[in-house]
Amino acid sequence: MRTSVARLALAALAMACVAHPVASSAQTVEQFYKGKTIDMVVGGAPGGGYDIYGRAVARHWGKHIPGNPNVVVRNMPGASGMAMLRHTASVAARNGLVVGTTFPLAILKPLMDKRDDYLPTSFSFIGSANQETRVCLAMKNQPVKTLDDALTTEMVMGGNAPGGAPHDTPIMLNNLLGTKFKLVAGYPGTQEIALAVGRGEVGGICGFGWTSLMSQQPGWVTDNKINILVQIAMEPYPALEKMGVPMIWKWVKTDEQRRVLEFLMAEQVYGRPFLGPPNIPADRLEALRESFMATMNDADFLADAEKLGIEIAPVSGEKFEALIKHVGAAPPEIIEKAVNALKRP
């Protein structure tokens, strides 16, 4: 009799132990997020383009996430966005309470550098707020007026750090097309480079996102203070096309050049990326993806974006993830040539 009672007690204890995780796993997304705060880590300096996008999204995202959590922004600049990704990959909690945005090329840098800082395909891809078109620009007082001029005349361009578009783009064009840009690097971000342009320290910026240009320095365009030399993107941007700014493909002579450029420019399709750590629970990732796209169509958010001068052309998390996997499967020889195209002499 005592044996039977003991067995029943042990069985009840076992059932109680099992019941606790079942109850935990049954927690809904709304229950999880209710009353909590999501930490949005921005991999760029305050005031830069990625910071502007990140803060705009943060102001409106929470109302579309089940449970309506707060979304709080903090900046983690460094290594052109890679510091934020290292943190996200190895330190940040994987429960859906940490998300972030950073320079898009930083996601692929370990693949290009043959390093194991993080696995590019391992992140939880939420979506992108915009598909980026980049430009090279020169102030009107510079001798370089067109990209053809840059093939024969040296011009000083301001840049940030390796992995950042204003750093890598002039090097890429020098190596692939033969331009003669002289890079002065080390500025924290585009805002600081723009200030350097204003002080006359450098003559222009190459690799400046069009949306960043229009949100940070719209007067350069509206007051006709600059020459836009080229637009760098897969497809022409309507406003730039209307202005007569030529596409980069005009100067591409070989199939190899085209393939390398396509590899390097693929990240512009997810030009304002939002992602989380690896292995966010599937139901929470789905909720983050759906709520992100709902935010992209929110009237208040779009009005806020218009006021800030930032453009919204969203990319879904599913498309974002598929593109990263596609780019990650590029032939080794193309990746190698892409890596070489970003090396300074």
| Percent of the chain surpassing pLDDT 70 | 93
pLDDT at 326 over 90: no
- Cα–Cα distance between 266 and 88 in angstroms, integer? 22
- 295 burial via Cβ count (<10 Å: 0-12, 13-18, 19+): buried
Q: What is the pLDDT of residues 167-201, one digit of tens each?
A: 999 999 999 999 999 999 999 989 999 999 999 99
pLDDT at 14 over 80: no
pLDDT confidence of residue 234:
87
- Poorest-pLDDT segment among 24-28, 226-230, 255-259: 24-28
Structure tokens at 137: 């620009």
SS (H, E, C) the chain: CHHHHHHHHHHHHHHHHHHHHHHHHCCCHHHHHCCCEEEEEECCCCCCHHHHHHHHHHHHHHHHCCCCCEEEEEECCCHHHHHHHHHHHHCCCCCCCEEEECCHHHHHHHHHHCCCCCCHHHCEEEEECCCCCEEEEEECCCCCCCHHHHCCCCEEEECCCCCCHHHHHHHHHHHHHCCCEEEECCCCCHHHHHHHHHHCCCCEEEEEEHHHHHHHCHHHHHCCCEEEEEEECCCCCHHHHHCCCCEHHHHCCCHHHHHHHHHHHHHHHHCCEEEECCCCCHHHHHHHHHHHHHHHCCHHHHHHHHHHCCCCCCEEHHHHHHHHHHHHCCCHHHHHHHHHHCCCC
pLDDT at 267 over 90: no
pLDDT at 11 over 60: no
Q: What is the pLDDT of residues 33-63, one digit of tens each?
A: 999 999 999 999 999 889 999 999 999 999 9
pLDDT confidence of residue 25:
53
Q: Of 74, 72, 163, whose CA–CA distance to 117 is shortest?
A: 163
Q: How many CB atoms lie under 10 A from the CB of residue 215?
A: 21
178 vs 215: which has the higher pLDDT: 178
pLDDT confidence of residue 105:
86
CB 287 within 8 A of CB 125: no
Structure tokens at 216: 């940070």
Assign residue 96 a region (left: φ > 0; alpha: ψ between -120 and 50; beta: otherwise). left
- Confidence band for 113, pLDDT divided at 50, 70 and 90: confident
- Confidence band for 10, pLDDT divided at 50, 70 and 90: very low
CB 188 within 8 A of CB 160: yes
Tell me the pTM: 0.72
271 vs 148: which has the higher pLDDT: 148
pLDDT confidence of residue 115:
87
Summarize the confidence of residues 212-240 as an average pLDDT: 94
Summarize the confidence of residues 217-232 as an average pLDDT: 97
Sign of CA dihedral 310, 315, 320, 326: negative
